[in-house]
Amino acid sequence: MEDRQFMERALKLAEKGRGRTSPNPLVGCVIVRDGEIVGEGYHEQAGLPHAEINALKQAGDRAAGATMYVSLEPCNIHGRTPPCTDTIISAGIKKVVVATDDSNPKVAGKGMAVLKKAGIQVECGIFKDRARKLNESYNKYMTTGLPFVTLKVAMSLDGKIATKTGSSRWITGEEAREVVHRMRADSDAVLTGAGTVNADNPSLTARLDEEGIRQPVRVILSGDGSIDENSYVVTSARDLQTILFATEKITLRKKDRLEALGIEVVVIKSDKAYVSLRRVLAELGKRQIVSVMVEAGTALITAFIESGAYDKTVVFVAPKVIGGKDAPTFFAGSGISDIKDASDLKFSDIKKVGKDVMIEAYKK
């Protein structure tokens, strides 16, 4: 029972680094000696010491002969920081309990092997599923080189994301909107289409009353580069990193104009006359963008679903009925003929957020 309690603490500590460690994983660590916690820590920010090092520093000499509980396999490689395995061995840790192995091919299993070779007892698997979900974006990125994509939708009880006139502010309540701001802060990038920018003038920023909030990279898709130059994402581009993906349709004059306004313009090959989602995600992966949150209108959300270029949906359902056959839903397209061909997702979490309901579902 004690093992589970200490690992529970390590997982909670790991959460404290959310939104600050990318492209590194979230990791928490607890060091226990004679049933007492003598050191704990978490990975606070990319480039800073890892969780194990912070916990060992707090434990000091009391680490000798102790048991370490860590939410992710300790690293055995030189990155921006030295290998954690070397420090763990030097500190005299007797036993290491790991929640899950590292999905980084350079580390996977090798960190635990180094510890075992040094005579340290190693156990792995306590709360493994929770530990892997904690770093779902990191896990996908490490195994595919592509970011983890979350589709965020706010809709009425009858599935409408706006009225027939396009009015959509606000469908959900204040509590749900605060959760969305947290999701933005936890994401490396927020992606939308130029149509949404022109219609709604979103900020795509995380507005939370906290210090040290990291703003996501704002990613805009626009085939020919058309975008309202008076929109917030354009006027704030010199202060907040903004990337616009366009196709060969963009003119050199338009590209130069947007770049002069502070927007980075990336031209990629089109896919059926549209910006290729596959190429956009590949390019974001090259930039070490590990997680992408999509906040967009029907056309772009539909494109992500139809192409399968997403991993998870988070849908906020408001207790409102909008109605109207011309009022948009979040998914359109040509539709299917037989129910057996419907996209099949797996519910992960359903909970109330203020007056609304938040549904989390993964693509199977």
Catalytic residues: 52
C-alpha closest to that of 134 among 35, 27, 244: 27
Residue linked to tokens 């590194």:
24
What does DSSP assign to residue 125?
-
Instruction: Answer yes or no: are the C-beta atoms of 214 and 189 closer than 8 Å.
Output: no
Q: Are strands 217-221 and 242-246 parallel, antiparallel or unpaired?
A: parallel
C-alpha closest to that of 48 among 74, 30, 22, 29: 22
Q: Is 138 exposed, middle or buried (0-12, 13-18, 19+ CB in 10 A)?
A: buried
C-alpha span between 153 and 294 (Å, rounded): 9
C-alpha closest to that of 267 among 285, 279, 257, 253: 279
C-alpha span between 346 and 363 (Å, rounded): 6
C-alpha span between 195 and 190 (Å, rounded): 15
Instruction: Answer yes or no: are the C-beta atoms of 17 and 33 closer than 8 Å.
Output: no
Instruction: Answer yes or no: are the C-beta atoms of 362 and 312 closer than 8 Å.
Output: yes
